[in-house]
Structure 1
């Protein structure tokens, strides 16, 4: 996961193998996908939060992210989640379009949340949708 994350997130800090391992230790964390494309989701009570989603650049434009989106939402619903949340960089228009195609809508912003290597920080767009 760390290798794919690093390849996919070249303009911001990617997560380390230790960070992934710590998240995966929790029974509240759901992982879906494989080395090409994956998502990590935390489910607490009736809320699912997409922590990260990544597709290795060698495997982009093959529909993998769409399958991952469908899988994690279906699994979160099966585990009792009724609402889903995520955050995405304001300048990541392809990701926002993907999320909107699954019914996510903006519900807030975090100013200057994402730091960029050699560039100004970018807002996080908070998005939400009902799963049931």
Structure 2
């Protein structure tokens, strides 16, 4: 996927806080970045030494609930482990119920919380839950 395609899909998935094509281009130039894609979505991770961080995981709104997020997360975890990661972590908004369910099914556990982390236009900020799990 090109940076423009990633940005367009991200904007559809996260209209309140989309990343730009320039953001994606910068990530893709970074050797620690891992991009996992499918026709309906993508995941962007950073892998440094033995840690992987999910920076974003986006699925096209019309394709949600069909297992694409689960498949992307599974592939991302496998590829991060291949790069030497032994644990994976992420932040998820407290109001993102679908993503929280996805991560719970994948074995992530809450290790912290950041109050007001996600700013939202026209509404109150949302807290972020810090989640992590080990990689086998």
Q: When the two structures are superposed, what TM-score results if normalisation uses the length of structure 2?
A: 0.93
Q: In the alignment, which of 12, 15, 20 is matched to residue 16 of structure 1?
A: 20
Cα offset, 1:13, TM superposition: 1.3
Shift of 1:35: 4.9
Name the Cα RMSD after superposition.
0.9
Partner residue of 1:86 out of 77, 83, 90 = 90
Deviation beyond 2 Å, 4+ runs, structure 1: none
Q: TM-score, normalised by structure 1?
A: 0.96
Q: Deviations over 1:76-128 (max 9, x none)?
A: 01110001000000111111110011110000011100011211001010001
Contact 2:91 2:129 in 1 (8 A): yes
CA distance in 2, matches of 1:58, 1:90: 22
Deviations, residues 57-84 of structure 1 (Å, cap 9, x unaligned): 1222221111101100000011100010
Alignment of 1:25-104 (within 5 A): 25-104=29-108
- Equivalent residues, number: 131
User: In structure 1, what is the Cα distance between the partners aligned to 2:88 and 2:44?
Assistant: 13
Alpha-carbon separation, structure 1, partners of 2:22 and 2:38: 18
5+ residue gaps, structure 2 = 1-5
Structure 1: distance between partners of 2:29 and 2:57: 18
**In 1, distance between residues paired with 2:25 and 2:38?**
15
Q: Secondary structure at the match of 1:116?
A: coil
**C-alpha contact (below 8 Å) 1:4/1:35 kept by paired residues:** no
Structure 1: which 5+ residue stretches go unaligned?
none
